[in-house]
Structure 1
């Protein structure tokens, strides 16, 4: 039986993401395939930090980070809201534990991730907005870590923006020409 390596947002605190992953898993099971959710953790190396520098001038990336900081500050001011957010996050964690049990070993760093591809027969990326402009460089959600000899499937994935930013058009084009 073929084993599918899934690149999905299973551990985010977002209802749509988690329900989409659950629906994808149910369909894969219904079709009779085995699967594993790939767990990839970036390794902070000097090279990774150097490659990440262009993100500091990416307005989408900066806006996203600033909004997260503002949100955390605002939540910390209100103990009752902080408690409710904590309860909500606990429920998300419980959902992950209950429904997403077929998890890969943790691939720590890009080299480990590439080496881990030998554990699968094909790869599927799925969920809305995984190809956001500030996600494109990770090589994870666009399956660029996967050698060309493996089939790659994108299911219900989008860019999440109506237009690719001007400064990223050439890079995005190159990424998808390679796939």
Structure 2
């Protein structure tokens, strides 16, 4: 079947790009033909003249070409939609529309694009599904949108959600029963296309979601104490104090985690790839109210003791002295993985 996928992608965000790729990969694995609906949160109908010049220059820089190559090689796409109105006026032809994963149902992230992530475009003949969709928050703070969301979700054949908190929101606010599934990145136990061999190196990898000097200083000092080399896997070099000249590629981001001896991050997908490659890690609490996804996944795997409020609490706990026993953890993750695969296959195939 032809499946059109709508998610948050083309953001130059490692987690967003990898969850998009993993969903495409999973749908292909099940024997279907996926295409990414080619609209981006940053799309504009008419960028200014200076904006077009800046975009042209940016696309030529190594930081951008690394992502452009990834999107070109790994993401099959529909035609480009430059605005929401273009999508609504000429929606892609498909047997199924799927929304997910990631925080596609968080209007604070999707902003003026929020409605389209409830798939209210196209004909009623197209089957609508969500896979691992997430709110990323515990509370719905947009009461003015409740009636619209209820109506839109009633057109879905199946709704699956990534977090238990999201399932509660769907049930309590919108009257929709959903099924819990893993993030699509966790459907796979390796990414050989990115990591041809698993060679552990004496590195401490840290992944700050934005500029975070406290985390940087802490990780650099900790690496010295542990006899490891610190690697910032979100390191960027700039020119003119603004344009990002170079940064880690998506493939190298995965390899950095896969090869590491220890990882520290606030990132959900940083955690996901630690689990995939069975790396030792510590998670720092999110600095915003979007930490439910971290708490939920760690709770499912009985790893609540691996998340810390701050670097001081982390330093006192010294988790590097108490390694995670993956022989105990992996059967739990594999059971969740198997169940999520069965659900994805069933919701696509079922009439």
Fold shared by both chains (TM-score > 0.5): yes
The CA RMSD measured in Å over matched residues stands at 2.3
Higher CA-based Rg: 2
- The TM-score, its normalising length taken from structure 2, stands at 0.35
Please state whether the residue corresponding to 2:116 is helix, strand or coil. coil
- Kindly indicate which of the two structures has a greater share of residues assigned to helix: 1
- The TM-score, its normalising length taken from structure 1, stands at 0.64
Tell me, yes or no, if structure 1 residue 22 matches structure 2 residue 21: yes
> 1:33 offset after TM fit, Å?
0.7
> 1:118 offset after TM fit, Å?
5.4
Q: Could you say which residue in structure 1 is the equivalent of 2:96?
A: 122
Q: Are the counterparts in 2 of residues 43 and 110 from structure 1 also a CA contact under 8 Å?
A: no
Q: Could you say which residue in structure 2 is the equivalent of 1:93?
A: 68
After TM superposition, list the pairs within 5 Å mapping 1:6-155 onto structure 2: 6-40=5-39, 41=43, 43=45, 87-100=62-75, 102-117=76-91, 119-134=93-108, 135=110, 137-138=112-113, 139-155=115-131
Q: Are the counterparts in 1 of residues 100 and 134 from structure 2 also a CA contact under 8 Å?
A: no
Structure 2: gaps of 5 or more residues: 47-60, 154-351
TM-aligned CA distance change 1:109 to 1:10, over 3 Å: closer
> 1:105 offset after TM fit, Å?
0.9
Please state whether the residue corresponding to 2:117 is helix, strand or coil. coil
Runs of 4+ in 1 over 6 A off after TM superposition: none
State the aligned residue count.
134
Which protein has greater RCO, CA pairs closer than 8 Å, 6+ apart? 1
TM-aligned CA distance change 1:122 to 1:42, over 3 Å: farther
Q: Are the counterparts in 1 of residues 36 and 78 from structure 2 also a CA contact under 8 Å?
A: yes
Please state whether the residue corresponding to 2:129 is helix, strand or coil. strand
